[in-house]
Amino acid sequence: MIETTQTQSTPPDPPDGAFEPYKPRSPEFRAAADALRGLRQDLFHQAFAYRPLPRMAVDGPVTRHLSERMKRYAAWTPHAVVVCGGVVAMLVGVAGSDAGGGTVLCGLLALAPVLLTLVRPVGAFWLSFAATAATAVLGSTWGSWPWLPGSLVSHLLVLTIVAIRTRPRTAAWMWLLTALYGFWAETVFGYAHYDTDTAPMLVVSALALLVVTVGHIRRQAEQEVTAQQTVTEHERSRRTLLEERTTIARELHDVVAHHMSVVAIQAEAAPYRVENPPPELEKAFATIRENAVAALTELRRVLGVVRAEDYEAPDAPQPTLADLDGLLANVREAGLAVEKAVTGAVRELPQGVELSAYRIVQEALSNTLRHAPGATARVEIGYVLGGLGLRVVNGPPPAPHLVKPSPGAGHGITGMRERVSMLGGEMTAAPTAEGGYEVTVFLPVPAAAPATEDGA
């Protein structure tokens, strides 16, 4: 290993009146500066700002069953708890003080900081310090000190309430300042007192603040998890939507390609079916054929973009409503009792409509097998004027407690809605009053133009 030494010349001192160059601060200095900045922001900046305690939400598992009048009262539960805690601190302060005429004042000094947490939480913390010092002067010099019984209960309540209303960093600062106050009081005035209670105060307050901090961290973690789950569900729905659209595009490729191929073939053969066609007509048919072939080329190029890497083109033609009986037979073999009903005059529909109708029925029956095993189902197909009506309804599962939730719940409905939206139709999907599920679809079919007498 070769070692190299590098020397740097010390820059000359700046002349008088010039600015000194910036010197980077050490990590310790920056940490201390950030800590002091956090202390100022949490406990000094707008310490006595008006921040009223909000009322409790009444949409919980218990409060939601209350009457409207009781809900109005229940919303003030946090305020009532704080007031009760203040009253307890006041009673302890009155009972534990032998200050003679100042007994009532000691009780009020224990009550005031607790009540102030309702509107000015950080200011209540500083008032608790002042009330503690005043009570120590007015109260007895024997027994617990520097926190007399009332001040001890009051300060613990203030620490807990303020920690609940703020954040964990504020709780840490309050505990540290409480420790500094206790050690300072013991050092300066402790020689004149029989016993001190700084250690019990710090232990009990640390436990209380630890519980509150753990609650804060858990609540924040739950919020983050909920937000992440919401984002994940949104992304999953979006991905599913794109996958369904890609599947629809691949399936409709055969339909569109078939029609474009027919147009190209007919345009090429049309001039030979007319004796001595005019050049304009031949040129028009040639243009039609060229455009049809160009459209087929572009269609295949677009399909190559949306096709998955593992996609294999099907050998069989795309299914239609004529193949529905085979689908129902397969479903019956899987254990689903399904029946079919057809109303109206059966007629041939555009291939895209028949393909979408077949896929919608297929997906609806698959959802029945997945979410309601053992139930019965009914498929109704109505050929009506102006379109095709579909209705797939299933009954409730015989043992709903044995049905396991499916990770893809709702994705089949998304695919059906995409197909219906593509054709400009309407769809409803909702549970039935009997506990089953119903999917109703209407797919519009434009009426065929009537043929003229000359066949045009």
| Structure token digits, residue 333 | 């073999």
Angle at 298 between CA 297 and CA 302, to 5 degrees: 120
8-state DSSP, 274: S
pTM over 0.85: no
Cα–Cα distance for residue pair 139/153, rounded to 1 Å: 15
Q: CB neighbours of 369 closer than 8 A, spacing ≥ 6? A: 331, 334, 335, 336
Please give the Cα distance from 52 to 160 (Å, whole number).
16
Q: What is the pLDDT along the chain (456 residues), one digit of tens a residue?
A: 344 444 444 555 555 555 455 556 777 777 777 778 878 888 888 889 999 999 998 888 888 888 888 988 999 999 999 999 999 999 998 887 766 667 888 889 999 999 999 999 999 999 999 999 998 888 765 667 888 889 999 999 999 999 999 988 899 999 999 999 999 988 887 666 677 888 999 999 999 999 999 999 998 888 888 888 887 777 877 777 777 777 777 666 666 766 677 777 777 777 777 777 788 877 887 888 788 777 777 666 666 655 555 555 555 567 889 889 988 988 888 888 999 999 999 998 888 888 889 989 988 998 888 888 888 999 999 999 889 999 999 998 887 655 555 544 456 788 888 888 888 899 999 999 888 999 999 999 876 544 444 443
**What CA dihedral angle connects 93, 98, 103 and 109, to 10 degrees?**
-40
Which runs of consecutive H residues, i.e. helices, occur in 96-167?
A: 103-116, 121-138, 149-165
Q: How far lies 65's CA from each of 56, 129, 217, in Å?
A: 15, 42, 30
DSSP structure string for 323-351:
GHHHHHHHHHHTT-EEEEEEES------H
Output the CA torsion sign for 226, 232, 233, 238: positive
Q: Are β-strands 426-431 and 437-444 bridged in parallel, bridged antiparallel, or unpaired?
A: antiparallel
Contact 121, 159 (CB under 8 A): no
Contact 151, 132 (CB under 8 A): yes
Nearest alpha-carbon partner for 173 in 47, 281, 345: 47
Q: What is the pLDDT, as a whole number, of residue 23?
A: 59
pLDDT, residue 361, reads 92
User: Residue 196 — φ and ψ, nearest 5°?
Assistant: -125, 155
Longest pairwise C-alpha distance within the chain: 130
Structure tokens belonging to residue 235: 């992304």
Say how far apart CA 359 and CA 422 lie, in whole Å.
13
pLDDT the model gives residue 289: 78
Give dist(CA 410, CA 425) in Å, integer: 19
Q: How many residues does the chain have?
A: 456
Is 381 within 8 Å of 341 (Cβ atoms)? yes
Of 105, 109, 115, which Cα lies nearest the Cα of 82? 115
